[in-house]
A and B are shown apart, each in its own frame.
Chain A
Amino acid sequence: MQRLSEIALITQVVAFGSQQAFAQLVRTHQEAVRRFLCRLTGGDSMRADDLAQETFIRAWQGLDSFRQLSGFQTWLLRIAYRVFLDDARKEVRTGHTQELPQEGSSDWTAYQLSAPQNDDADNRLLRHDLDLALATLTETERACVLLQVVQGQSIRDIATITGLNENTVKSHLLRGKKNMAAYLRRNGYEG
């Protein structure tokens, strides 16, 4: 039913250029896209929001090329991943790379402030540790792990999003999850 209404909204956008219908689609999928980008950028919610905006604008411009072979969210996440990679490459070119703030540093306060107000300290620490653990992975491994563990995407969909083949995705997942879990265990998280 939800998929049907989503198709109806997409049709309205493609056929009539309806901004209202697109706003509805943004409202529905903003959470998944922003969460994915926020974790990909190491918890930098400002940068993640900028990239998410860029993602939705690219989606608006290219919605007529959406063939519904994959789900709309998978398609959006694919754009988001490309937007992230473009931005990461730009940062490497300009020599401006961001590192995660260490606990107690001045950046750490800003990092904490970017978290929602109703968030407790334990959760903030846990998220910081998860971001640090994610930072030990390569960009591709990080994307694969996040897409599976956080977004609940299937291996086939992860392959579609990242543009890799399924076996490569599986190896990235295996290696990424192993490294991440090892890092977390070393830091006192037991599973």
Chain B
Amino acid sequence: MTTIDNNKLRLTDDELLSTLFAKAMQPVPDNGFTDSVMLRIEAMQTKQAVQTQVATLALKRWNFWLNAGCAAAIIALLAYVGLLGQAWHAVQIFVERVLVSVLTFDPETLLVRALLAIRQVVETLPSVGQTLTLLLGLGLLWLILMGQALQKLAKSMQ
């Protein structure tokens, strides 16, 4: 690749253009140009400040509802664990009783034991059912809370 010699650029064309441009060149007075630039910058900064404020408020709202959502989720989780524990405890007692009945199996008392087992099942089932109902209720409550939070957030973003 051939490189262009710098000296070749400084020919008569160069001189002609320099002379003509120098002749045509005039000072460019400010004429309020700087002031207009500074005014635009000031206006821009005010707009930016307002936008930042709005964005900060939206962020604060988002944080608030996120915290509310998280709190509701934690409460629901604790309740879930607690109630599940309760139901599990009832199931454990039932299994324990069944095991004891099997180990101490006596054909003479079969009818009595069968009746007792049915009774235990009937006693345990409502406990499990109650847990599930409560869990569903809590889930619903959490969903409502999150729905409201998201709705408010969407409004604040508008």
* A interface list, Cβ under 8 A from B: 19, 22-23, 26-27, 30-31, 34-35, 38, 49, 52-53, 56-57, 60, 116, 119, 123, 126-127, 130, 145, 149-150, 155, 167, 170-171, 173-174, 177-178, 180-181, 184-185, 189-191
Contact = CB atoms under 8 A, between A and B. Distances in A.
A149 B21 contact: yes
Nearest to B1: A167
Contacts of B29: 116
Chain B at the A interface: mostly helix, strand, loop or mixed? helix
Contacts of A57: 37, 40-41, 44
Interface of B: 1, 3-4, 6, 8-9, 12-21, 23-30, 33-34, 36-38, 40-42, 44
A174 B20 contact: no
B13 A181 contact: yes
A175 to B, nearest CB: 11
Contacts of A52: 33
Given A26-B34, A49-B33, A181 B17 contact: yes
A111 B13 CA distance: 27
A123 B41 contact: no
A174 B28 contact: no
B102 to A, nearest CB: 80
A53 B18 CA distance: 28
Contact of B16 (A23, A56, A127, A181): A181
A184 B38 contact: no
Nearest to A189: B20
Nearest to B16: A191
Nearest to B8: A174
B21 A56 contact: no
Contact of A145 (B6, B17, B23): B17
Contact of A174 (B4, B19, B24, B34): B4
Contacts of B44: 57
A174 B38 contact: no
Contacts of B33: 26, 30, 34, 49, 52-53
A191 B42 contact: no
Given A130-B24, A184-B20, A174 B9 contact: yes
A117 to B, nearest CB: 10
A51 to B, nearest CB: 12
B21 A123 contact: no
Contact of B3 (A126, A167, A177, A189): A167
Given A57-B37, A174-B8, A126 B24 contact: yes
B28 A34 contact: yes
| Nearest 9 A/B pairs, CB to CB | A191-B16, A181-B13, A170-B4, A31-B28, A26-B34, A127-B24, A56-B37, A177-B13, A126-B24
Contacts of B24: 123, 126-127, 130
A158 to B, nearest CB: 11
A38 to B, nearest CB: 8
Nearest to B25: A150
A126 B25 CA distance: 10
B21 A191 contact: no
Nearest to B4: A170
A178 B13 CA distance: 6
